[in-house]
Amino acid sequence: MTDVVVTVPARDEAATVGRAVVDLRRALHAARALGRVRHATVEVVAHRCHDATATVAADALGPDGRVTLDDASWSVGQVRDLGVRRGLDRLGSPPTDTWVLSTDADTRVGVRWVVDVLAHARRSHAVGVVGLAPLDRWRGSPAGRAAYDRLLASGLRAGDTLHQHDHVYGANLAVRADAYLAVGGFPAVLHGEDQALVDRLAQAGHRLLRTCEITVRTSGRLVARAPGGLADRLTSVDSPYRTPAPRVGKPRAG
């Protein structure tokens, strides 16, 4: 059986982190019930929060994980990596028998998420699984939505069972712990830490599965918690199609 660490960065996510954690606990329970997972921990890292994120997460986690308060990290890569390393230390399992799963505090995973990640990795003999993250809903303009759909479609590949798409989401990413540690984990970069990790794994020759069959549902919000993340990407896609608000001028005298 496999041990699992799930890392969840969170910044001012009190409104969503509770549901995200409950989903993760259900997915891990399902994996344990099927004999796929032995030990697991969900590591929520509350980064410079000004709301009740840490309290909500801790209440939702119960005995299945921990919340770390983090005011020192300056990048989301450091935040994700902190959760990973705390989880690995907590479990103390051999890295070759442990998987690191990454998601976000505004993301909902299905009850089979953990089971499917591990099953696809086993069938493909992969040490990394890169899934997709459809939006919960589109919050921009109709033209912006069409542009985003074109962007997603441009990253899909046909005819390659291992490399089905070019997208990378920290909300739906899994790496076996030995490979994760060998390449240095999530790097301390301002944004794009998920893509950088996948690039490191590929450059080191690790076998990756980039699959369209494993999905999670993530927020389509346009207000970012971390610079350069998905929300900023959605905003940049939508902004050319927004109708400017009408300017209200002062009434003329006379």
Query: Which segments within 97-222 are labelled E, that is strand?
Result: 98-102, 107-108, 128-132, 173-176, 208-215, 217-218
Q: What angle in degrees, to the nearest 10, is found between the helix axes of 17-33 and 53-61?
A: 20
Q: Summarize pLDDT for 128-177 with one digit per residue, the tens.
A: 999 999 998 888 888 888 988 998 999 999 889 999 999 999 999 999 99
Q: Which tokens belong to 194?
A: 């998920």
Q: Please compute Rg for the chain using Cα positions.
A: 19
Q: pLDDT at position 247, please?
A: 58
A 10 A CB-CB count for 225 gives 21
Per the structure, the count of domains in the chain is: 1
**Any idea which residue has 């794994």 for tokens?**
201
Check pLDDT > 80 for residue 66.
yes
Whether 74 maps to a domain, the answer reads yes
Check pLDDT > 90 for residue 118.
yes
Mean pLDDT, the chain, rounded, equals 92
What is the mean pLDDT of the segment spanning 2-25? 97
Whether 253 maps to a domain, the answer reads no
Whether 186 maps to a domain, the answer reads yes
Whether 91 maps to a domain, the answer reads yes
Tell which wins on pLDDT, 242 or 17: 17
Check pLDDT > 60 for residue 251.
no
Continuous segment of H or E residues that includes residue 47:
strand 37-47
A 10 A CB-CB count for 175 gives 29
What residues contact 150, with CB distance under 8 A and at least 6 apart?
none
CATH of residue 13: 3.90.550.10
Whether 249 maps to a domain, the answer reads no
* pTM, two decimal places: 0.90
Domain coverage including residue 191: 2-241
Shortest CA distance to 170 belongs to which of 203, 133, 207, 202?
A: 133
Whether 122 maps to a domain, the answer reads yes
Tell which wins on pLDDT, 158 or 14: 14
Tell which wins on pLDDT, 232 or 195: 195
CA 248, CA 100: separation in Å to the nearest integer? Answer: 53
Whether 247 maps to a domain, the answer reads no
Q: Summarize pLDDT for 218-236 with one digit per residue, the tens.
A: 987 777 676 667 777 777 8
Share above pLDDT 90 across residues of the chain, in percent, rounded to a whole number: 78
Whether 250 maps to a domain, the answer reads no
